[in-house]
Structure 1
Amino acid sequence: MSADFWAGYVSGAVGILIGNPLDLVKTRLQAGQTAPAPALLATGGATTPTQRSFKQHFDRAGTLVRGSTAPILGYGALNALLFMTYNRTLSLLNDNPAQPASLAKVWCAGAAGGLASFIVSAPTELIKCRAQVATDRHASSWRIARDVWKAEGIRGMYYGGGITSLRDAVGYGFYFWSYEWSKQSLASPDDTNSQTAMKVLFCGGLAGIVTWASIFPLDVIKTRVQVQVSPSTSGSVEEGSALLQQPGRHKRLGTLAVAQEAYRSEGAAVFFRGLGICSIRAFVVNAVQWAVYEWVMQILQEP
């Protein structure tokens, strides 16, 4: 495999390990869910609103890594495919991936990478989101994947794939564009190694924030689409989202219907619910992710 494949894989896995706790909160907020009452009752005594909010989402140590198994494996592969496709596309557009001259070509190459990553991101996101909103403490990524596959096969694993591919294409276009723009703007020939490293961290974090700000409404809709469960799928693993617990619903809603229902019931603000926590996570995760990517690339490309 090429250097950018392994650099992408390692940086993607590291990013998930760092960002999963905050990603869990984001997913639950997007799905319109709070933690089940027993999680609060078990704490005992009086709690402040901040403590209650924290305990709602982190009711036990295992919650911190809930839903992380699929992303650690899947997002590593996704990131590898993303960076490989980005670099190859930019080369096909007659630009240099190491020092691109055209930010427009960078955006297009990033969007191409996002579309290619859909192969991995759609099933990974579906499993992750369902694991993160599950009320069953014994729910695992493997169990959810098994249940979905048994009930619906490959189509079930790619449920919500359309909105996921749109989100990824737009998001990764801005991801690479904002990273290269900020990196080129801040670059100086007099930078020391430590200054360069700090700028990579800052540019990576900024790219994460810009990316999520550009696609957050799409991500909210994607999450709500994917946590819906097929009537043919049963079991406590698949329960847990307030969106699903509506009496009289016998079939899943399409993407447009989910968006319309969310707007009708909760207003426009619902499409930005969780953006604050997501921005914090995005800065930290992508700062580290870009730093790891650049570091691994440097090691692997040394003669």
Structure 2
Amino acid sequence: MDFWPEFLASTSGREFVAGGLGGTAGIISGYPLDTLRIKLQNTKNVSAFNILRQMVSREGATSLYRGMAAPLATVTFQNAVVFQSYATLSRAFDSSVSAKDPPSYKGVALGGVGAGALQTLMVSPVELVKIRLQLQSMGRITESAKGPVMVAKSIWKKEGFRGLYRGLCVTVIRDAPAHGVYFWTYEYMREQFHPGCRKSGKESLHTMLVAGGLAGVASWIFCYPFDVVKTRLQGQTPSSIKYKGIYDCFRKSVKEDGYSVLWRGLGTAVTRAFVVNGAIFSAYEITLRLLFNNGNMQTQETI
């Protein structure tokens, strides 16, 4: 009965809840653009507008949200773990900073790398199922029509534990350094837009939205080629194995389509990144402040 009040009274609990709500806001705001990105990475000479037009005309606007149940079901916990891990690790890597001061930019970057690496254990199987669902209209994946739970069961039955974690290595390569760039960019840009806000914790919604959006854009540009490789590896099924690994996928993709294939869909990805991560950081910061203010009020009333 007393778990939630005690949990929300702790700093870790508030960061966990704020991170979860931020992740939910990000998924809902950016999922249609994510669907377009996945399809662009697996097609040739087709624009995002043409894919959008074809999907809406043939399957309706709801097709843009196909597969959202898989990430939405886990994103609250996943994003909560990322933000809580980041908050803990950024201070652990910068022990010289006092509790009242924000971590240094070095601590921010290293904390982001650590948080990014940890969250891949959760995100890799979820993104595998999501990608299989998003690619169903291309006619290569028959089990995707059954929904996320059935797809996951089908993968487990046919490929086992190893199948569910297909693409884990490239996901770590993509996410660990990208999260370092992500959190560093956000902290740096918010300070540039609103000097002193890292210590005071006070900045405008505009600052949160723009700094968060730029952080998302920077991290995606940094890791995008690995995301293309990851999508192609995870889009494979046992009956359609084309790539034997990360290097083989990279080599064959470049040989067939040129180096430009590694940046296919980047425009859609960065547009989505700006919208999604602006929403994530804004929801995170606002929720965190509401929880801390509420906690302070409750403490004062108790006293």
Normalising by the residue count of structure 1, what TM-score does the alignment of the two structures yield?
0.83
Choose the corresponding residue for 2:187, options 176, 180, 183.
180
Alignment of 1:152-167 (within 5 A): 152-167=159-174
| Structure 2 residue 287 is matched with structure 1 residue 296 | yes
5+ long unaligned stretches in structure 2? 1-6, 8-12, 297-303
Distance 1:283 1:214, change over 3 A: same
Alignment of 1:1-303 (within 5 A): 1=7, 2-32=13-43, 52-58=50-56, 59-93=59-93, 94=95, 95=97, 100-135=102-137, 138-188=145-195, 196-231=204-239, 244=240, 252-302=243-293, 303=296
8 A contact 1:230–1:252 mirrored in 2? no
CA shift, 1:9, in A, is: 1.0
> What is the distance in 2 between the residues matched to 1:98 and 1:138?
52
> What is the distance in 2 between the residues matched to 1:50 and 1:214?
21
Distance 1:286 1:51, change over 3 A: closer
5+ long unaligned stretches in structure 1? 36-48, 232-243
> What is the distance in 2 between the residues matched to 1:273 and 1:172?
21
Higher helix fraction (1 or 2): 2
* Number of corresponding residues: 271
Identity %: 31
Distance 1:214 1:97, change over 3 A: farther
Amino acid at match of 1:217: P
CA shift, 1:187, in A, is: 1.5
Q: Residue 181 of structure 2: SS of its match in structure 1?
A: helix
Q: Residue 204 of structure 2: SS of its match in structure 1?
A: helix
Tell me the residue number matched to 1:46.
none
Tell me the residue number matched to 1:239.
none
RMSD: 2.4
Normalising by the residue count of structure 2, what TM-score does the alignment of the two structures yield?
0.83
Distance 1:33 1:122, change over 3 A: farther
Distance 1:140 1:84, change over 3 A: same
8 A contact 1:13–1:72 mirrored in 2? yes
